[in-house]
Structure 1
């Protein structure tokens, strides 16, 4: 029996750790689902007038409504949308009647329509404020000669178009550009992780039981 004590303690201890990890992942799953639900509710709220000084933390995903006129200059962000395939997000400056200039993500155009003429237009826009976290140390610098950007870099785009560092992502519209509304883009793999840890705990206990069986049989 003494030979069984150490394997038993080791087996039960390992299983306890694996079960703890599984429970933690289930807790993380509950937290993540609550966070996603809160963001989705925020995105779908009734729109309000554009704040005087939008704050990236306080006003992230805030639904807003604003009227203004787009400028002729555009920035094109390389992207891909199903089922159309590769193309570009069209980012333009929107100037309000009060003289404010903000960035407007008008939506997606296919590659063939990248340089189609889009004359200035007066729009009543409903959308959501966004400060997309799309840049890192691996993001290439924009190709200014060809007007191709590789991420929605709000400060850099605002500098290029002479606007406030504020981006409104348009919710709806007809034709091209086709609006690509803000959506929740948070990874949520906690259920798979929890199942994995649970199955490992079961396997660990099964192997422990088999080891104890072999030890007992060899000592009889």
Structure 2
């Protein structure tokens, strides 16, 4: 009995559904939503293609800078115009002397393991001061605050890569100048903590041949730019194709249902 009642109810529901025409408004809304979705996904794919071109150009420019002949480190007149896009990883040279005092040790992890970058103030012959990343030492070699790490004495010529300051600190770790804990090479903060004036807004990563002493180890600059834009672009374009395919399938299904709903009425006439 219950089964018979369910069948009758289903037949009645099917009859009502056949006599209710599909709403053109609903089809229009679905079409608009589908069109906007496909357009948005396609735009995201195009944006990633543009980002891919930009990233490849950046990699090519940086590679050219790294292998170019060194140029004099920018002086005060050029400082307002220093930026990552135009100057990061440019090979530079500077002549002068290391200033007296302790080095600043900045936490680092390199191919040699965990330890510190050793940053020292350098007075250029042109009259300005620049922080020089002399290289890497292990935690055991650091010995306190870096006062025991030997420096080249007298006039020297250094070569290395121009690096843009790293303000703030590391991931979830903020620099603490008062406690002498540094997690990033923040030029302004280090200069202020050491009482330095007229300091360049960048620092220099020394190359492997710049040090006259065995430690620290220079030439460990890692130059790597994540480049996943092609994968992202293919993903967005794939989603756009899927959304378009689903929309067309839904439209065809709706039209087929509308035709099926009309056939019983045609037969009654």
Cα distance, 1:99–1:56 mapped onto 2, change above 3 Å:
closer
Q: State the distance in 2 between where 1:133 and 1:156 align.
A: 10
Instruction: Specify which of 192, 201, 208 is matched with residue 231 of structure 2.
Output: 192
Q: Indicate the structure (1 or 2) with the bigger Cα radius of gyration.
A: 2
Cα distance, 1:119–1:8 mapped onto 2, change above 3 Å:
closer
**Which consecutive residues of structure 1, in runs of 5 or more, have no partner in the other structure?**
none
In the other structure, the counterpart of 2:150 is 119
Deviations 1:169-214 (A, max 9, x none): 2122364312245555655443232122112112212221331232
In the other structure, the counterpart of 1:79 is 108
Q: How many residues in Structure 1 have an aligned counterpart in Structure 2?
A: 218
Q: More helix by proportion, 1 or 2?
A: 2
In the other structure, the counterpart of 1:106 is 134
Residue 130 of structure 1 pairs with residue 163 of structure 2:
yes
Bigger relative contact order, structure 1 or 2 (CA pairs below 8 A, ≥6 apart): 1
Deviations 1:122-176 (A, max 9, x none): 443111222223426965242545x431211111222316354222221223643
Name the SS for the 1:18 alignment partner: helix
Q: TM-score, normalised by structure 1?
A: 0.80
Cα distance, 1:131–1:17 mapped onto 2, change above 3 Å:
closer
Q: State the distance in 2 between where 1:102 and 1:18 align.
A: 47
Contact 1:26 1:194 in 2 (8 A): yes
In the other structure, the counterpart of 2:267 is none
Cα distance, 1:56–1:35 mapped onto 2, change above 3 Å:
farther
Give the superposed CA RMSD. Answer: 3.1
In the other structure, the counterpart of 2:67 is 44
Residue 90 of structure 1 pairs with residue 118 of structure 2:
yes
Q: TM-score, normalised by structure 2?
A: 0.67
Q: State the distance in 1 between where 2:220 and 2:199 align.
A: 19
Cα distance, 1:23–1:56 mapped onto 2, change above 3 Å:
same
CA-CA distance at 1:40 after TM superposition: 3.0
